[in-house]
Amino acid sequence: MSGPNRRWNPPVQPGAQGARPTIGRGPMITIVKRDGRIEPFNRVKMIESMRRAGATPQQADLVTNQVTTRIGPRTSIPSNEVSTFVTHSLSNVNPTASRNYEEMRNRKLAYNERANRLSAEISAINQQVNSAMSRVESLDGQIQSLPGRITRIRQGNYRLLTNLEKDQASLSEDWARISPEVRTTTNLKGETVRTRVQTLQKALAYRMAGADYNIGNLQEIESGIPEARLNLSEMYSAITSSLSPLEQRFEGINQDLTRAENT
């Protein structure tokens, strides 16, 4: 409808502030992070990062349009390539902001690399706790399997190795005597390590969720890892001192049984 009362609203141009992060009518662009994570292209986030570096709203919007155009028809692009586009385009309109943006990017990369390394170390400690606790249950299952294995070879008329029944009975008796204490010790020490690991994981997640990429923020977490490792070492020592003699005895019986089963 035409007339003096009609209000005309200009169409939103591709790349204008507030438009969807797509090229024309193509699919949404995804950004591939250095650690392999995939995120959708976020126009607002890009503008905010340049504003923090000192760019004006108009400069940030202009650079975002240029970067979006430069990406072209691509639907996926590495994050470092996008950052390079931003740095180059921003340098043409605000060299100081461009340098600040690059410094912020490098500080963020260094921060994330260190945080990821700490996360991997903490996860490794947690996995070792699980492995140590599984060691107890593994030995229990192995000892419990011996009577059935011996019965099967006897049913197959295997008459050699007459010591198997006696050795198995002695091993089972000793395990039944010490296993409650071993489990209690393992659970207590394992819980100590896990509690420490969970504390470190929560602290690290909190630091990584923030926008302050000061390496010093990770110092407290890094200094807490040796204590968790010490707790883990104490747990391993306690388990090994109790289990090693029985594991060796089991292995001797197991070797004899394996030869008999293969005969």
pLDDT of residue 72: 79
Indicate the pTM of the whole model.
0.69
Which is it for the CA torsion 70, 75, 77, 79, positive or negative? Answer: positive
For residue 159, what pLDDT is reported?
86
What does the mean pLDDT of the chain come to?
86
Rounded CA-CA distance 111/115 in Å is 6
Is 201:124 a contact under the CB 8 Å cutoff? no
pLDDT, position 27: 56
Sign of the torsion angle spanned by Cα atoms 204, 207, 208, 214? negative
C-alpha 109/C-alpha 97 separation (Å) is 18
Rounded Cα gap, residues 243 and 148, in angstroms: 22
Domain residue ranges in the chain: 30-93, 110-262
CA distance 3 to 43: 37
d(CA 243, CA 179): 9
Residues 195-211, mean pLDDT to the nearest whole number: 89
Segments in 156-218 forming alpha helices (H): 164-209
Residue 55 amino acid letter = A
pLDDT at 197: 94
| Confidence band, pLDDT 50/70/90 cuts, at residue 22 | very low
- For the stretch 44-62, pLDDT in tens is 999 999 999 999 999 999 9
Q: Higher-confidence residue: 209 or 140?
A: 140
Q: Which residue has the higher pLDDT, 89 or 1?
A: 89
82-94 pLDDT, tens per residue? 999 999 999 999 9
Q: What is the pLDDT of residues 147-192, one digit of tens each?
A: 999 999 989 887 888 899 999 999 999 999 999 999 999 999 999 9
